[in-house]
Structure 1
Amino acid sequence: MVKRKPQADRIAELQALADSTAEAALGAEPAYQTTVLNAAETIKHIASNMSRKNIAPAPAVLTLPDNATAQELRSARTKQAARRGQDVYLPNWSSTARALPDVFLRTALFSSSSSVQKQNDQVLAGDLPLVVTNDEIASFSGISFFFSGYRLCQYDRQVYATCLDYYREQPLATDDCPRHIRTSFHAFASRMGGTHNAKTYRSIRASLLRLSFAQIRLRSDCLNIEVPKLLSVGFEDDHPAEEMKGANVVLLCVPEPVAELFGVASWTAIDRQAVDYDGLRGWLANFYATHKKAKWLPIETLYRLSGYESKMSNFRGSVVKALDKLKEPGTPVCSRVAKYHFSKDKTRLYVVREAWPTNDATEE
């Protein structure tokens, strides 16, 4: 049995061969010099490609020394989640924004379907057993996503973004240190930007319970990530739904594994206003906010990812209405659409955000 050399040794040998071939070109006959130089460049290019593929994926959570300064921690958190000692922090973002992992916004995790919200309210009332286990969620290219729990909707996205915002400046919870955030339904609704009445508080409570059942497993950027629990929640002095008051206490706990979803270039801070959009407009606003440039996308892909509840034949018209709303001047820049157009056969869509470089697509 032939034992293969380690990849690093093979790369080093190719790099050395490229150097020696380039040196040999200097002494070669003029008629062959260009050919030998080209061979050296080809070998160098192969070694470079192998080297890039051999690099292990960067960790999602950057580990800092236990004695790292506050400035070092702040600097690290501009790009990704970071650990200092036993404390793990989410990235930092502006108080005028909300941050969520891209894998949440590029999949059907938070469905645009209003029927999901209605079904979930029935589930928590004990009417429908709609808990799913290891259900594969429609995902954007390069993502494999499995979900267990109650189906989630756009409202759950708004609520979870608010939960994460409570941990914007303090470490996440661990088994040894739960770090519950103590708040009230009134304070939560204010932070979320919602109304203040019993109906709002009931909706928030139902969403928090749905999120507390959620478990995810995914593979993205060559990394396997498992989050056994997105959120733990408790209620002090809990009352029947019809007697809920804004002063009722809520205990929130976002666990440390959630930080694995906030690696470099894997999360997006979105204007609070855009986070609050619902339906298909909300899904599209957040989906496109995670991208850096325009690209053609199949209509069928957007249909699957959005969780659109009607037939495919109705989807294109709904997309047009949603995109036209996102073109309105009041839309935050992070989600404002400058223009869009369909391919000649109407099967693909090209959307340009105002924040992106102006680069017109070739018509398909």
Structure 2
Amino acid sequence: MSTAPNRRAVAVILLVPLVVTLALWTFAWPAARIAPRDLPVGVAGPASAAQQLEQRFEQRDGAFDVHRFDDEAAARTAIEDRTVYGAVVVTPQGPHLLTASAASPVVSQLLREAVTASAPEDTPVRVTDVVAAPPGDPRGSVLGASMLPLALAGMAGGAVVTMMGLRGARAALTLVASAALVGVAVTAVTHSWLGAITGDWWTEAGALALTVLAIGSAVAGLAALFGPRGIGLGALLMVLLGNSFSGVSSAPHLLPEPVGAIGQWLPPGAGGSLLRSVAFFDGSAAGGAVLTLSLWTLFGLAAVLFARRAPTPAEPVEPAREPALTG
């Protein structure tokens, strides 16, 4: 009996638990370690009272990155510009907490609990949601759940282009057209039907299309450089790591270090941040995410256009022809 089938069976037996363990680690470990890590928050009010409040935040070493503001108006502007997730304004009536549930419902709840716990006993804490999550998605569930389908759509586009043997400009145009249609379709569902995002319709469609294009281009580019193995590498980066490290369902500043930073360097995390910016904050702080997605897109399309692709199963290698003998 040949030992090759037995070896393949052993490889499958060992590989499946390894893949499951890796997937469980990438998804469960960050979720189990959610806590503020250099979370940008603001403090405003009279100097002496604001300094005391700032010191309370700083007692939790490494949890908060405190920004000082002169008054409530400056704190509100910083929240709307996505400089901070929230701010505490010291008033004679007690602390006034400003939040932005559109930036992260999880962070808003965390700040509410932290400020209420640190306030003097029997002192009411007034809370104002400066940039509220839409009524169609008050907990951010739709936005958090949208990244995996987008990652899968990009993966599918890059894989299909590779397996069909499309090359050069035809492959690039196929990726662009597919991503554009996905952006329009997803915006129609999340904006027009569910009401989960509420910004400019076409800007949201463009952000979603750019996210899918960055993922699809990267997968196709990796396949152009490394052959079919590149599709597996793309799945590891975009779906397994990119989706679980994106912080879309919570916030990048709540994930363990350096997971939060790594997630923002990958298209799913950058795409989630970009979508929040254009959907709720009029595009504030969108520049970094646009740059990240553009770089992944340019890398992928450049590889698709110029790399010498390894043959795929759809492209059988023709045997070399011997030159005819001459008399």
* TM-score class, shorter: under 0.3
Report the TM-score, using the length of structure 1 for normalisation. Answer: 0.25
**By percentage of residues, which structure has more strand?**
1
